[in-house]
Amino acid sequence: MLKYVGKSEKRVDGIKKVTGYVRYTDDLKLSGMLYARIKKSPYPHAKILKIDTSKAEKLSGVKVVITGKDVPIRVGLYLEDKTFLAIDKVRFIGEPVAAVAAESEEIAEEAVSLIEVDYEELSAVFSPLDGIKPDAPIIHEDLGSYKHASIILPQSGTNISNHYKIRKGDIEKGFKEADFVFENEFYVPHIQHSAIENHCAIAQADPEGKITVWAGCQSPYAVRRTLAVAFDMPLNKIRVISPAIGGGFGAKAGTTLEGIVIPLAQKANYRPVKLSFSREDVFINTFVRQGMYARIKTGVTKDGKIIAEENKFYWDGGAYTEYGVNIARAGGYASTGPYDIPNVKADSICVYTNHPVGGPYRGFGMSEIHFAIEQNLDIVAYKIGMDPAEFRKKNALKDGSSTVTGQILENVGLIQCLDKVTEDIEWDKREKKVSKIKYRGKGIACMYKAPSMPNNVGSSAIVKINEDGTVNLLVTAMDLGQGSDTVLTQIAAEVLTVPISRISIMTGDTDCTPYEWQTVASRTTYCCGNSVKRAAEDAKNQMLRLASLKFGISEEGLELKDEQIISKIYPDKKVKIADLAMGLTMPDGSGIHGPIIGRGAFIPPDVKDTDKETGQGDKPVAYWTFGVQAAEVEVDIETGEVKVLKIAAAYDAGKAINPELVCAQIEGGIVQGLGSALLEEMKIKEGKVLNPSFVDYKIPTAGDVPEIRISIIEIPEPTGPWGARGIAEPCMVPTAPAIANAVFDAIGCRINSLPITAEKVLKAIKDKMK
Amino acid sequence: MKHKISFTINGDVKEIEIEPNKTLLKMLREDLDLTGTKEGCGAGECGACTVLVDNKPVNSCLMLAVEVDGKEILTIEGISDGTNLDPIQESFLKHNAIQCGYCTPGMVMSAKALLNRNSHPTEEDVKEALSGNLCRCTGYQRIVDAVLDSAKKGGKK
Amino acid sequence: MKEFEYLKPDTIEETISILSQHGEKAQILNGGTDLIVGMRDKIIQPEYLVDIKAIPQLNRIIYSKQDGLNIGSTVTLNEISDSKVVQTHYPILAEACKTVGSYQVRNRATLVGNICNASPAADTAPPLLVLDAKVNIIGPTGEKIIPINQFFTGVKKNILKKGEIVNSVTVPLIKDKWTGVYIKQSRRKDVDLATVGVAVVCVRDEIRIALGAVAPIPVRIFKTEELLKGKLIDELLLEKAGESAITEVSPISDVRSSKEYRVEIVKVLIRRAILQVKRRYSA
């Protein structure tokens, strides 16, 4: 009988957030602080001929001026293709070419305006389809010499930074045997996370040569490692503190501006240097979601079995794809969506363009590809006269199915999710024409996602038992709002039988909290949760051992219950956790063992590489999460406006450690998905972002929220803590295609690109009428 | 040239010399160390900087500090007394209406202003009142529910 | 923001004197919701900022059965939409004011500021145009009254000369029964700029129409009004009205919308607005 896990415990960080007490990075004011600003490139692609910083250096109040030559080392998570300041060349409008630290923001801004840069413009690339052409201008001439993870396959001499292939079965044979073959194309533009907190970083160097960085980053250890490489420093000389994060969604994964403040701090005579991005800076100088062109060719039998699929994904990776290359890979190993297809050919190609930098965005490629996959499925279903939900059910992955990489699956909850959603949205009930101008429709979309991470990365946790039996839990999994602080505390509470109020969690300090690869990939409950469970069990085992010594009873005869170790048979033989926390005092007064520190570490078991040519592998990922969403929309056929009335969602969470927090995530994911479906697009013309502000980049408000109905299925993932899987990203993935499919159901028009604006809908309606 | 201004902040009278080219938001955060009020866009679009000036919710990023001379300002720090939370804050906690917390101070202040002027808002009223406060994490419904619930209790616990 | 001198006169005379003295170097600080954004983005960099909110005469809403409605230049949009007299006697204006920005913005932004900013998409402009509002200007040469029709002179340009400020806006009485509506098309339901704005007023057999965001300035479309005057409103006439309206405006494609879409929406919204006011009028 679980006491804490599976309960909707209240957030452990709620009060400090609701009072405005929490300090995010920009709230920190350090003594002697200097303020930084960056000089940005006005060109999408140009050689830097000369940078003259002399006037800026002379301005009163300016303390440090740096350019690319001060930060020359290339870094990157999966492909080392970026520098924090441009060197020799700029590759997107807005790329930082110099930075200043000064006594005030105003002086720093003025100093930046005094920096003179001479450029020689180069031809630029604004679409991946142009980037792959043989005569395309080359954006990274040295691609062939960049260090990269073994799973990434860059093509030297081109703009292709990764080409992930799936070759499963026999695609030619599959198409030959199909009764029908359909080809469709789709497009998603760049969008942005728009977390309400803008990026900010502070760095300070101390006289011993140690650097401390404060930044609201999702992954302090990844930041530490990248900075160590960039500045050729040992890891123990860099401390990264992530104080609190005002929304992540991938925007604050990896590194963004952290590397600019360090070289400023190193020359600032031990004064801290803060770089605060404005909203416009965030739009232009931090990660955007990659754009993508998709071509899908589907071979299907007349009774609705998909037997062949060919997917081509061309990713608009932007100017640097150190992160984007893995998104392309993820798009590849998930390329057909959650369906059992015997013959698959997929090419997922990450292409450099002179656009802002593409990077991780909630879903990590899944939202982009599922927009294409799920509309494609709907088109095929419609053309062969089959109900879209039935068609999906017929082809859905289930226990025993094989994925595109040839992995045989178990514990697949997809069909249960489908059934729940079709029930909740009343799939068979359609009220098409509500009035002369308002038409309604329903659409459905499935999804799956695995945590996209290297096979061998780990999490860890430390549990300290205090003298009074309370607990300090140390992890570097970051609470971005998703509630990890609370969930991890619940896990510790469950194992240690210590109430949540007697456990304090601390995160985000690489000097004190133990290694966590990154807080991304919806991996935290699974990976760090397992680490916390192991750390708590380690502490528990130490206490059992000490109690066994104390009572002379074997460990099997003892249990941890209600904060005590107690004999299973002799209830008077009990000792409080508090009395074992500092070790065991023997009858003769001597002490043994010392303070109890529980240690836990976790790497997902048996996750292996796939074949470089065929993409085949029997366990390329730790686990898969399945989910389904359906949308009901109402279209005004005179204006084209789409209103989302209702969304039904079902996810297999394996085990919802905190059901309310799972639901809260799903609600947020749905609304974020709705934004990408109807409102959001970075309008980029010749490399220039035309709408870098909330005036013209619209995200949903309270007035846009539909009725939402959520179901949580629980088919345990055997390797997850109590069976838990991650759902943080999956909950955004199918919303846009579900809405697109609903629009088709309402008005018979396909909108093959995002966002589904009133303009596009009206044009489609008018074109159809002609 | 700095101007001497005097105003009430969270119940305390304050006199300060301030440059005219500083926004109210910057003054609150930098000169008064009241960092609960946030900057999310600096352009009056996101509402993270919402405070009450003479009981009216405003975007403090769109006001100059000098404009609050003679006025009463209420920020998130001023609505609980250090021991007891405001009923709206209690309601936010109860409804799990907080995730990353960054929009929360602005949301709470907008909600407080709404309930001050309309003690029985409809769901539409709440959504309209909060439409100038952007949230990326929660999907809004729990925030709306928290405000409605708080109104039902008449602002009492 | 660049440094500037902040002045807070408490009379109109002093304000005029400051503005006359400094001309282009001075800007009026009223609600500030447009100005401060412009100053932050360094598009506007005044050396003198003249805060007019301490002038009591500017902060009044006066209604009389003879002279109609008079709105002082520092009256905020929320004050206007909350005002019982505006809600009762000029509901179209209360409605339009509520569509500007967010509730927070409307606690600072003013109607007069909205028209002085003179965005082609200004939401208060089409209603003021169909209500034949008048702008009361005061300056170094004295007072003058300009019909709202003549107030806008170009994209973000108004007719004010050096030293002049808007004292108030007068919305005359319409003696007969009338109905009106303002329909705003935008990308997002709440808190957005208009991609097209349509204001229609119906009084006796007259239909007045003004459009926003489809020309360099907000405009009354008199030719189309002439087409409709005194005629029975049927689908064919509404279609003709839509086509006629397009000939009186010049929508463009911009980051918010394409020209083609604006053209379609003008036709749809004119039809809807006319039907709505006619329905309300007959009720």
pLDDT tens track for A114-165: 999 999 999 999 999 999 999 999 999 999 999 999 889 999 999 999 999 9
**Cβ-based contacts of C40 with chain B (< 8 Å):** 42-43
| Distance, CA of C108 to CA of A323 (rounded, Å) | 44
Mean pLDDT calculated for residue range A79-89: 96
Contact (Cβ atoms closer than 8 angstroms) between residue A101 and residue A63:
yes
Question: Would residue B82 count as lying in a domain?
Answer: no
Average pLDDT over chain A reads 97
Q: Is C259 on the interface with A (CB under 8 A)?
A: no
Q: Is the pLDDT of residue A286 over 60?
A: yes
DSSP-assigned letters across all residues of chain B: --EEEEEEETTEEEEEEE-TTSBHHHIIIIIS--TTS--SSSSSSS-TTEEEETTEEEEGGGSBGGGGTT-EEE-GGGSS-SSS--HHHHHHHHTT--SS-SSHHHHHHHHHHHHHH-SS--HHHHHHHTTTS--SSS-SHHHHHHHHHHHHTTT--
Residue A600 is predicted with a pLDDT of: 98
Catalytic one of A9, A197, A368, A729: A729
On whether residue B57 sits in a domain, the answer given is yes
pTM for this entry: 0.97
- The CA distance from C43 to the nearest CA of chain A, in Å, is 15
- pLDDT surpassing 70 at residue A247: yes
Q: Report the alpha-carbon distance of residue A421 to residue A709 in Å, rounded.
A: 9
pLDDT at A547 over 80: yes
**What is the Cα–Cα distance from A608 to A617, expressed in whole angstroms?**
7
Residue listed under structure tokens 């309270």 = A702
Is residue B114 situated within a structural domain?
yes
Q: Which CATH number goes with the domain that contains B135?
A: 1.10.150.120
Tens of pLDDT, residue by residue over C79-114, are: 999 999 999 999 999 999 999 999 999 999 999 999
Handedness of CA B141, B147, B148, B150 (dihedral sign): positive
* Maximum pairwise Cα distance, chain B: 49
Pick from C1, C71, C70: which is nearest to C29 by CA? C1
- Residues of chain A above pLDDT 90, percent: 98
CATH superfamily of the domain spanning C178-282: CO dehydrogenase flavoprotein, C-terminal domain (3.30.390.50)
**Average pLDDT value for residue range A254-268:** 95
Q: Is A638 on the interface with C (CB under 8 A)?
A: yes
Angle at A401 between CA A396 and CA A407, to 5 degrees: 120
- For the domain A456-602, what is the CATH code? 3.30.365.10
Domain at C5-51, CATH class: alpha beta
Same domain, B58 and B124: no
Q: Is the pLDDT of residue A620 over 60?
A: yes
CA dihedral A555, A561, A566, A567 (to 10 degrees): -60
Tell me which CATH code domain C57-171 carries: 3.30.465.10
| Interface check A701 vs B, CB under 8 A | yes
Predicted pLDDT of residue B157: 44
- The neighbouring-strand residues paired with C28 are C50
Rg for chain C (alpha carbons), in Å? 19
Helix-helix angle A758-769:A735-747, to 10 degrees: 30
- The per-residue pLDDT for B155 is 54
**C235 has a chain A CB within 8 A of its CB:** no
In total, how many domains does chain B have? 2
Q: What is the mean pLDDT of each run of 10 residues along chain B (157 residues)?
A: 97 97 98 98 98 98 98 97 93 98 98 97 98 98 98 69
Q: Do B64 and B12 share a structural domain?
A: yes
For A31-122+199-276, CATH gives 3.90.1170.50
Q: What gap in Å lies between CA A512 and CA A118, rounded to an integer?
A: 45
Interface touch A246/B102, C-beta < 8 Å: yes
Q: Is A27 on the interface with B (CB under 8 A)?
A: yes
What distance in Å separates the CA atoms of residue A316 and residue A310, rounded to the nearest whole number?
Answer: 20
Chains that touch B (3 or more CB pairs under 8 A): A, C
Q: From the candidates A17, A18, A660, A729, which should be mutated to test the interface with B, based on the most B CB atoms within 10 A?
A: A18
Dihedral sign for Cα atoms in the order B61, B63, B69, B70? negative
* Domain presence at residue B8: yes
- Is the Cβ–Cβ distance between A311 and A188 less than 8 Å? no
What residues pair up with A168 in beta bridges, in sequence order? A344
Q: What is the dihedral of CA B126, B128, B133, B138, to 10 degrees?
A: 60
Per the structure block, which two tokens stand in for A196?
Answer: 């309400």
Torsion of CA C16, C20, C23, C27, to 10 degrees: -10
Would you call A559 a catalytic residue per the annotation? Answer: no
- Boundary of a domain, candidates B51, B77, B103: B77
State mean pLDDT over A83-98: 97
pLDDT(A311) > 90: yes
How confident is the model over A488-522, as pLDDT tens digits? 999 999 999 999 999 999 999 999 999 999 999 99
Architecture of the domain made up of A288-453+608-769: 2-Layer Sandwich (3.30)
Asked whether C199 and C96 are in contact (CB, 8 A), the reply is yes
Strands (E), chain C: 5-7, 26-29, 48-51, 61-64, 68-72, 134-139, 142-147, 152-154, 157-158, 165-171, 178-185, 196-203, 206-212, 219-220
Confidence of residue A438 (pLDDT cuts 50, 70, 90): very high
With a cut of 70, list the residues of chain C below it in pLDDT: none
Could you tell me which chain A residue has the CA closest to the CA of B140? Answer: A702
Where would I find the beta strands (DSSP E) of C107-249? 134-139, 142-147, 152-154, 157-158, 165-171, 178-185, 196-203, 206-212, 219-220
Counting residues of chain A whose pLDDT is more than 70, the rounded percentage is 100
Q: Tell me whether residue C152 is exposed, middle or buried, using C-beta atoms within 10 angstroms of its C-beta: 0 to 12, 13 to 18, 19 or more.
A: buried
Every domain range in chain A assigned CATH 3.30.365.10: 288-453+608-769, 456-602
Strands A471-474 and A503-506: parallel
Residues B117 and B54 in one domain: no
**pLDDT tens digit string along A705-735?**
999 999 999 999 999 999 999 999 999 999 9
**CA of residue A499 relative to chain centroid, distance:** 31
DSSP reduced 3-state for C143: strand
Return the closest-CA partner of residue A497 out of A578, A573, A540, A561: A561
Confidence of residue A770 (pLDDT cuts 50, 70, 90): confident
* pLDDT at residue A532 in the model: 98
- Kind plus residue range of the DSSP H or E element containing A275: strand A273-276
Range of the domain at B123: 87-152
Q: How far is CA C180 from CA A246, C245, C283, in A?
A: 44, 18, 13
User: Which chain B residues have a beta carbon less than 8 Å from that of A278?
Assistant: 42
Contact call for A699 and B144, based on CB within 8 A: no
Structure-block tokens of residue C212: 């926003």
Q: What is the CATH number of the domain that holds B32?
A: 3.10.20.30
Q: Is the distance from CB of B67 to CB of B126 less than 8 angstroms? A: no
Facing residues of A289 across strands? A191, A359
Domain map (residue ranges) of chain C: 5-51, 57-171, 178-282
A690 touches chain C (CB under 8 A): yes
Examine the domain organization and report whether B93 and B67 are in the same domain. Answer: no
